[in-house]
Every structure is written in structure tokens, then in C-alpha cells.
Structure 1
């Protein structure tokens, strides 16, 4: 019997699971790139905390870029 926690190989995945993995990866990369571009263009005064730290945090799966967009940028006005 196959262990439930065992990693599935790409060849063993259904077409739907493969598509889901590709979409999730693309979304994750797009979020990270958008966050890094925003961070690079944004002046340090408009970032909550050190820009270098946010650059590293953004690399953490979906949580990093979302955290940056929610808490890393200062609101103007």
C-alpha cells in the first residue's frame, strides 16, 4: 500500500494534477516577481522595514509576496 505522505512523481500524476501544479507555480512566480519589482521601484521610506529583509521574505512561497503587499508597503495619504 502506498504511503499517503509519499511524494508523487510527475509521471504518476493525472493531467489535472499536473495542470494544477503548473498553474500554482506560475501564480507563485508571478506574485514574487510583481512584489520584487514593486520593492525595487519603491523608495525605502515607503517600505515598512528594511528592503533587504523584504526581498528575502518575498521568496517564501505564496506567503512572502502576499505579506509584502499587505504589510510591507506604507499607505500614502
Structure 2
């Protein structure tokens, strides 16, 4: 098995599209989370708001956890 890294431009069009779509979904979830977290009163959030803001930097997991478990 080769461990050679490939450049983005060397990937197939489908692979490039998948990466771009995944990145847009991740960015949208994070921005939406930050907006919701900033506007939502602390008593409507499970746990400290700063912890959820920090969790947002865990790609994929942080925003998904907030939308699933973080809001009352």
C-alpha cells in the first residue's frame, strides 16, 4: 500500500466535489452553531456556552453534538 499523498488537483472530479461539499457542510454547521449559541440564553444550553464553543473545533463531532444534545 502506497502512502504517497496526492494533491487536490490530482483527485478525480467526484473526489474533489465530495471534499468541497463536506467542507461546506462542516462550515455551515459550525457557523450555524456559533450564531445559535451566541443568541440562545445560557439557561437554554446544556452545559457552559464556552465549552460548546470549544467543542465546535472538533471537526464533525462538535457541531453535531451541539445540535443533538446541547440545546434544551
TM-score by length of 1: 0.85
Q: Which residue of 2 aligns with 1:52?
A: 50
* Post-superposition CA distance 1:14-39 (Å, at most 9, x none): 11111110000000000011111100
**Runs of 4+ with deviation above 6 angstroms:** none
CA distance in 2, matches of 1:46, 1:6: 48
Matched residue count: 72
**Higher Cα Rg, which structure:** 1
CA distance in 1, matches of 2:47, 2:18: 34
Unmatched 5+ stretches in structure 2: none
CA distance in 2, matches of 1:36, 1:14: 33
Q: How large is the RMSD of aligned CA atoms in angstroms?
A: 1.3
